[in-house]
C-alpha cells in the first residue's frame, strides 16, 4: 500500500474557449473546425487542430448532447450476461456500436420483470437514443412508454406478442426441427423434448419445431412428449441454470424405467445434466439414448461424448440487431421488420449411432 497521488497535474479540463484563446479566434470557429464544418479556412482549421491536440482537448459530451438532443448511446437490456448466447451478443453489439460511434449502456434484468421495469426507467433517465432488449416477457408497459418517449427500440432474441416493434432473433423453430429430425434420422423412434418452463417465445418456438419434426418424421407421432424443467431462479448470478432440475428429472425417468430413444434438450446445460444422470444409472449415450443440445456451447466439442448441438450465431444476432436499430433511427416511419437468423445443427458423438 503506497500513498495515492494523482499522477501529474490534475488540471482543469480543456474547453473550446481554451483553444479559442490560444489560437486567437472565437469559440464558435473552434467548434466548426473541430466538427469538420466546411466554413473554416484551411489555415485556421490547422491551427485549431494543432492546438486542440497540444492541449489534449476532449469534447464534453454532456454539453454536446444537451444541445444536440442526442446522446449517441444505445441501451442494451439483457436478461443474463452469463448465458453464452447473450455474452456473445454483448460483445458483438458493443463492437458494432463502437464502430458507429455509439456507446453502450448495459442493463441486466436477471429474468425479473421488476428489474426490467427499472431498467427501462434507467434508459429513459440516461437519455439513450435507442435500445436493444431481450424482454423478460411479462409486461410491455415500460417498453411502450420508452417508445413513446422517442427511444427507438428493437427486441432481440425474444419477441413480445402484441407489440409492433422491430425484432431480430434466431429461428428456433427451425433449430429445434433440425435437432429433432436429426435424432429421428439417426434411428430414434421415441423422442422427447426437454424445455425450460419459462413463458418466453424462444421456448414456444422450439417446442413448435420439435412437434413439427415429430409430425413430419416420427413413426409414432403419439409418442411425442414435452418435459418442462423448473427454472425459477432462486438466487445467484453465476448459474448452472437449472441443470440441477434437469438432472433430477432424468434421474426420475430412469428410476421409473420411463425413457425415450432420444432427448432433444432446450439448452446444453440440460443436455449435459441428462447425459450425466443417464450415465450414472448405467445407461450410455449415444448407445442407449441419444441426446442433442441447443446453443452449441464452446465446450460441446470437448465433452465425452462430444455433444451434438444447435449452434446459435450470436455475433450475427448482435450486429444485425444494431443495424436494424440504426435503420429504425434513420427512418422512424419505416415498416416494422422481423429478422430470423438461421441456426444450424452440429452433429457430434452424442447422437451417433
Which positions lie near DNA, rule CB under 7 A? 13, 15-17, 24-29, 31-32, 34-35, 38-45, 59-60, 63-64, 66-69
Nearer to DNA, 30 or 326 (CB): 30
The yes or no reply on residue 54 touching its own copies (CB under 8 A) is no
Nearer to DNA, 41 or 103 (CB): 41
Grid cell 428456433 is found at 172
The yes or no reply on residue 162 touching its own copies (CB under 8 A) is no
Nearer to DNA, 1 or 43 (CB): 43
Q: Given the DSSP bridges, would you call strands 308-311 and 344-346 parallel, antiparallel or unpaired?
A: antiparallel
- Which backbone phi and psi does 323 adopt, to 5 degrees? -60, -45
CA distance 351 to 271: 12
Nearer to its own copies, 66 or 219 (CB): 66
CA distance 343 to 176: 9
Q: How many residues does the chain have?
A: 353
Q: Which residues contact 16 (CB under 8 A, 6 or more apart)?
A: 27, 30, 31, 34, 57
Stretch of residues binding its own copies (CB under 8 A), selected from 19-27, 172-180, 185-193, 241-249: 241-249
283 interface partner picked from its own copies, DNA, none, CB below 5 to 8 A per type: none
b/e 196-235 (16+ beta carbons within 10 angstroms → b): bebebbbbbbbbebbbbbbeebbeeeeebeebbbebeeee
The yes or no reply on residue 297 touching its own copies (CB under 8 A) is yes
The yes or no reply on residue 84 touching its own copies (CB under 8 A) is yes
Least spacing, CB of residue 99 vs DNA, in Å: 21
The yes or no reply on residue 236 touching its own copies (CB under 8 A) is yes
Burial of 69 (C-beta count, 10 Å sphere; 0-12/13-18/19+): exposed
Tell me which of 223, 228, 279, 329 binds its own copies, using CB under 8 A. Answer: 279
337 interface partner picked from DNA, its own copies, none, CB below 5 to 8 A per type: its own copies
The yes or no reply on residue 330 touching its own copies (CB under 8 A) is no
190 interface partner picked from its own copies, DNA, none, CB below 5 to 8 A per type: none
Tell me which of 36, 39, 42, 148 binds its own copies, using CB under 8 A. Answer: 148
DSSP letter string over 292-305? EEEE--GGGGGSSS
234 interface partner picked from its own copies, DNA, none, CB below 5 to 8 A per type: none
Amino acid at each position: 500500500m503506497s500513498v495515492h497521488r494523482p499522477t501529474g497535474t490534475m488540471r482543469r479540463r480543456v474547453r473550446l474557449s481554451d483553444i479559442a484563446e490560444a489560437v486567437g479566434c472565437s469559440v464558435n470557429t473552434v467548434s466548426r473546425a473541430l466538427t469538420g464544418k466546411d466554413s473554416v479556412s484551411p489555415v485556421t482549421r490547422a491551427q485549431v487542430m494543432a492546438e486542440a491536440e497540444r492541449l489534449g482537448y476532449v469534447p464534453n459530451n454532456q454539453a454536446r448532447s444537451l444541445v444536440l438532443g442526442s446522446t449517441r448511446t444505445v441501451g442494451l437490456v439483457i436478461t443474463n450476461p452469463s448465458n453464452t448466447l447473450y455474452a456473445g451478443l454483448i460483445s458483438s453489439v458493443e463492437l458494432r456500436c463502437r464502430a458507429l460511434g455509439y456507446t453502450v449502456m448495459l442493463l441486466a434484468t436477471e429474468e425479473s420483470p421488476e428489474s426490467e421495469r427499472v431498467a427501462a426507467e434507467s434508459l429513459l433517465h440516461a437519455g439513450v437514443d435507442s435500445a436493444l432488449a431481450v424482454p423478460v416477457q411479462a409486461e410491455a408497459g415500460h417498453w411502450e412508454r420508452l417508445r413513446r418517449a422517442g427511444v427507438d427500440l428493437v427486441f432481440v432474441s425474444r419477441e413480445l406478442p402484441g407489440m409492433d416493434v422491430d425484432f431480430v432473433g434466431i429461428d428456433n423453430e427451425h433449430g429445434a426441427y433440425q435437432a429433432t429430425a436429426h435424432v429421428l434420422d439417426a434411428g430414434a423412434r421415441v423422442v422427447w423434448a426437454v424445455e425450460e418452463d419459462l413463458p418466453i417465445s424462444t421456448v414456444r418456438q422450439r417446442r413448435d419445431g420439435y412437434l413439427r419434426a415429430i409430425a413430419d418424421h416420427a413413426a409414432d407421432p403419439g409418442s411425442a412428449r414435452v418435459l418442462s424443467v423448473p427454472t425459477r431462479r432462486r438466487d445467484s448470478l453465476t448459474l448452472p441454470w437449472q441443470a440441477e432440475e434437469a438432472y433430477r428429472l432424468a434421474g426420475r425417468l430412469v428410476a421409473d424405467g420411463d425413457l425415450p430413444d432420444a432427448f432433444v434438450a432446450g439448452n446444453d446445460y440440460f443436455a449435459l445434466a441428462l447425459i450425466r444422470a443417464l450415465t450414472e444409472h448405467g445407461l450410455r449415450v449415444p448407445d442407449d439414448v441419444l441426446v442433442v443440445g441447443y446453443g452449441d456451447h464452446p465446450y460441446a466439442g470437448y465433452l465425452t461424448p462430444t455433444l451434438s448441438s444447435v449452434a446459435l450465431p450470436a455475433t450475427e444476432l448482435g450486429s444485425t440487431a444494431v443495424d436494424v436499430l440504426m435503420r429504425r433511427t434513420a427512418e422512424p416511419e419505416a415498416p416494422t421488420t422481423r429478422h430470423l437468423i438461421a441456426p444450424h445443427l452440429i452433429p457430434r458423438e452424442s447422437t451417433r449411432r
